[in-house]
Chains A and B, each alone.
Chain A
Amino acid sequence: MLGLFQSIWAILKHTFRRPVTVQYPDEQFDKPPRFRGRIILSRDPDGQERCVACYLCSAACPVDCIALQATEDERGRRYPAFFRINFSRCIYCGYCEEACPTYAIQLTPDFEMSEYQRQNLVYEKEDLLISGPGKYPGYNFYRVAGLAIGGKGKGEAEDEDPPVDLRTLMP
């Protein structure tokens, strides 16, 4: 019987407590930094596309929502001719981001991407590309990779020694 009144009193005290509700569209809330939302394609610090069209994201995707086609420019740099993500299929698992060897594909905290027409959820490369480097400023895949492309020969990458002449290694 006493417990009855205690519980009534306990509830009554909640009259003066602030509601925990976040009235979402009016009030925004802090998303955690690793929130997995809308996928973007980032660029090098010098403004070039990071994606090298290796198909790893597409292969890692459990729902097969990423489609792309590799091609090469005149300098020998690989890039995707088209890059398409079907967000009506995407489950925002982030495997593509983990698979990406060049930090090109990244998940952002934005999730407000509702559409009235399903077709509008298919994002093309120009919708996905952003102007900056995203979460990894300063990283440039072709600057650290050993691959030779136009304008950067063998041994000219960062922290890379010049190529060794195999014949000089003779005993």
Chain B
Amino acid sequence: MSEAVVALINVLGILIAVLSVAAGLIWVERRLLALWQDRYGPNRTGPFGLLQVVADAIKMFAKEDWIPPFADKPVYVIAPAIIIVTVLTSFAVIPFSPAIGVVDLNIGLLFFLGMSSLGVYSVVLGGWSSNNKYSLLGGLRGAAQMLSYEVFMGLSLMGVVMLSGSFSLRDIVEAQRGLWFCIPQLLGLVIFMVAGLAEAHRLPFDLPEAEAELVAGYHSEYSGMKFGMFFVGEYLGITLISALISALFFGGWLGPILPPLVWFLIKMFAFIGFFILMRATLPRPRYDQLMAIGWKMLLPLALLNLVVTGGILLAAGG
């Protein structure tokens, strides 16, 4: 009985916390971008503009939820839900602290990779069902980008899996008691970061949206809360990738003095900030450049990382 209650509290707590963090990130991102562009950003609504999130949410909910008559209705409605569902499901395997976390799957990492692959459907179906050239182009780009970056995203994590000998995220965090994996797996970390940016289709890898070329890409036709779900889904994606980086490469909840959850959150928000810094800095590559970076540079590097890590482990453990 009490176990079920604890599990329920865990599930609801993580769900609410993650959704509020994702919504709050809209404010954080705007303030940080403004800081780096010598502006103030939203600072009028409430203290430091914090109520901007509330104002945005009210605006989103109050907007007309319009479905274009030429759209493929059922698919059009389902597409924004997919990204939210897949990303939120991925959060089930994230170990926030020894006590907090929904499940401890022994294939946690594979579960995450599978869920992020399913997330592609959101972009593709959203772009396809909108029945709009630009949306379709955005959807196609999203499909190609996310599928190709998925490949070495998985490969870049295999070094971590080899070092810890487990796919379970809790075991991986525990295996970093001696040394955080960001040092032996530096290459893996960099590759995972790039792939994570591409998976969350964040700038500079936001080619599915590419507002300079494709209106708003796959969600051009979306309005109201359906657009809001794509929007929140993107921020959930950054949160997820940041949480994973801190768990896989930076020792998750491990750290002195402060409670485990605090350490996890500090690391997670540091990477969220870093992703926003990347957005503030880097221009969007051309589409063929994106594909070239993926297949010609990062994939061989990921394979190299895999081979070298495996070789060293064999030699050391042999």
User: Which A residues are within 8 Å of any B CB, using their own CB?
Assistant: 4, 7-8, 10-12, 14-15, 17-21, 23
Known contacts A10-B281, A21-B38; 18 additional CB pairs below 8 A are A8-B277, A8-B278, A8-B281, A11-B280, A11-B281, A12-B36, A12-B277, A14-B37, A14-B38, A15-B35, A17-B38, A18-B38, A19-B35, A19-B38, A19-B40, A20-B38, A21-B39, A21-B40
The interface of chain B, by Cβ under 8 A from chain A, is 34-40, 277-278, 280-282
In the bound complex, residues from chain A placing their C-beta under 8 Å from that of B37 are 14
Which residues in B have their C-beta under 8 angstroms from that of A23? 40
Q: A12 — which chain B residues lie within 8 A by C-beta?
A: 36, 277
Chain B residues lying within 8 Å of A19, measured Cβ to Cβ, are 34-35, 38-40
Closest Cβ of chain A to B298, distance in Å, is 13
A8 to B277 Cα, complex, angstroms:
7
- The complex places the Cα of A15 from the Cα of B281 at a distance, in Å, of 13
CA–CA, A20 to B39, complex, Å? 6
- 6 pairs of A and B residues whose beta carbons are closest in the complex: A11-B281, A14-B36, A8-B281, A20-B38, A19-B38, A21-B40
Docked complex Cα distance between A23 and B282 (Å): 28
Q: Quick one: closest A residue to B34, CB to CB? A: A19
Decide if B40 touches A4 in the complex (CB within 8 Å). Answer: no
Residues of A within 8 A of B40 (CB): 19, 21, 23
In the complex, A4 Cα to B282 Cα: how many Å? 8
Name the residue of chain A whose CB is nearest to the CB of B278.
A8
In the complex, which residues of chain B have a beta carbon less than 8 angstroms from the beta carbon of A18? 38
Closest to A18 in B: B38
Contact A14/B35 with A4-B282, A7-B282, A8-B278 known, Cβ cut-off 8 Å: yes
20 A-B pairs, CB-CB below 8 angstroms?
A7-B281, A8-B277, A8-B282, A10-B281, A11-B277, A11-B280, A12-B36, A12-B277, A14-B35, A14-B36, A14-B37, A14-B38, A15-B35, A15-B36, A17-B38, A19-B38, A20-B38, A20-B39, A21-B38, A21-B40
